[in-house]
Amino acid sequence: MSSKSKVPTIAQIAERAGVARSSVSRAFTRPELLSTTTVLRIKKVAEELGYVPNSSARALSTGKTGNIAFLVPDVANPYFPPMIRSAQLAAENLDYCVFLADFEESGLKEEKLIERFAGKVEGVILISSRMPEERLQGLAEKIPIVLVNRDVPGIPRVLIDAGSSLKQAVRLLAHQGHQEIAYLSGPSVTWTNKQRQAAISMVTNELGLQLVVIPTEKPSLESGQAVVDQMISSGVTGAIAFNDLIAHGIMTELSSRALAVPDSFSIVGCDSSISPFTNPPLTSVSNETTEAGKIACEMIMGVLGEMNSKNDQIKVLETLLIERETIGPPCK
């Protein structure tokens, strides 16, 4: 069809395919109401004529857009892309499209994005949501939501439990002789940070170790670099970081001061997003991010199938501490 040709109409498709106009509409919106042969014939004619279904009209008539939204706090963080990719693949297998958005660690921006997606997506997957619990529960009444790494009753959620691996990391540091350990914390409002800090605190208390909690501005390499002075002045000899980016920032800054890891300082990361590529390779907690994305997508499809946003389904994924080359005895 030339660029000057008119867009083919449903009536033209119906005439050439030898069916009623209502059948053409159903072939694109409710194909289960027609025989497979009829649907294939109509779509073949539509393709020959250059017809493109109006997705907005389909959404109005069926309430289905074929889209889901996937919101993350920082798309540049290497922790998230494997999760995004696995969710996208799972959605594509079910003929859904994923809209990706970055809410930049802001609960207000996150809520605004959800409101903008209203009517354009059928459901939302929120990763490490920064919104208050009551607001999340209110939004879940209006649009199907699945959470990853946020534990809110009444909303389906996938939780990556790093607790047991972090406890193992504390014991490993203690076994090497460390008595003073720092935890470089992540965003204070997040379920993930609270869970990780609680696990570390439990074992340091159990073993009689001194724990120093040092807040970071955000879970980034720059934040890790910025807290090194405070970490050194605290007198700790080892540290566990909220994520690999913070740990890598610490290692980078220590290296710039000619302080080697682990000879001068022991470091443990979390998420194992970049740990194999640091110098030296970072001991870190390996998370099931790829599996989490896939399961979250399956959960949102399950909620859409039930047409019920109230669902208290929980899936907990375990983690593994991978020992590399950043833990040694305390510097004497």
Q: Are 224 and 216 in contact (CB under 8 A)?
A: yes
Q: How far apart are the first and last CA of the chain?
A: 79
Q: How far is CA 204 from CA 19, 180, 207, in A?
A: 74, 9, 5
Of the CA atoms within 13 Å of residue 160, those in its CB half-sphere come to: 26
The C-alpha atoms of residue 173 and residue 225 are separated, in whole angstroms, by 22
Confidence class for position 307, pLDDT limits 50, 70, 90: low
Q: Does 6 score more than 80 pLDDT?
A: no
3-state secondary structure 244-310: HHHHHHHHHHHHHCCCCCCCCCEEEEEECCCHHHCCCCCEEEECCHHHHHHHHHHHHHHHHHHCCCC
Of 46 and 295, the one with more pLDDT: 295
Of 31 and 277, the one with more pLDDT: 277
Q: Which of 181, 288, 286 is nearest to 244 (CA)?
A: 286
Q: Does 244 score more than 80 pLDDT?
A: yes
The C-alpha atoms of residue 325 and residue 174 are separated, in whole angstroms, by 16
Give the pTM: 0.81
Q: Which domains does the chain have, with CATH numbers?
A: 10-62 (1.10.260.40), 67-159+289-315 (3.40.50.2300), 161-287 (3.40.50.2300)
* Burial (Cβ within 10 Å: 0-12, 13-18, ≥19) of residue 4: exposed
> Tokens standing for 311?
């669902």
> Tokens standing for 309?
């946003």
Helices 21-29 and 55-62: crossing angle in degrees, nearest 10, is 90
Q: What is the mean pLDDT of the chain?
A: 92
> Tokens standing for 77?
């963080």
pLDDT digits (tens, 9 = 90+) for 23-42: 988 888 778 789 999 999 99
**Which residues neighbour 157 within 8 Å (Cβ) at sequence distance 6 or greater?**
146, 147, 148, 150, 151, 313, 314, 315
pLDDT digits (tens, 9 = 90+) for 62-116: 567 889 999 999 999 999 999 999 999 999 988 899 999 999 999 999 999 999 9
- DSSP-derived 3-state class of residue 69: strand
> Alpha-carbon Rg of the chain, whole angstroms?
25
DSSP state of 118: B
Share of the chain above pLDDT 90, in %: 77
pLDDT digits (tens, 9 = 90+) for 165-215: 999 999 999 999 999 999 999 999 899 999 999 999 999 999 999 999 999
pLDDT at 223: 97
Q: Are 125 and 296 in contact (CB under 8 A)?
A: yes
pLDDT at 3: 42
* Burial (Cβ within 10 Å: 0-12, 13-18, ≥19) of residue 201: middle
Q: How far is CA 185 from CA 211, 216, 226, in A?
A: 12, 6, 13
> Tokens standing for 223?
């934040």
pLDDT at 54: 65
56-60, 152-156, 286-290: segment of lowest average pLDDT? 56-60
Q: Are strands 320-322 and 283-286 parallel, antiparallel or unpaired?
A: antiparallel
Q: Are 173 and 327 in contact (CB under 8 A)?
A: yes
The C-alpha atoms of residue 101 and residue 85 are separated, in whole angstroms, by 13
Task: Please count the other Cβ atoms lying within 10 Å of the Cβ belonging to residue 1.
Answer: 11
Q: Which of 128, 141, 238, 140 is nearest to 189 (CA)?
A: 128
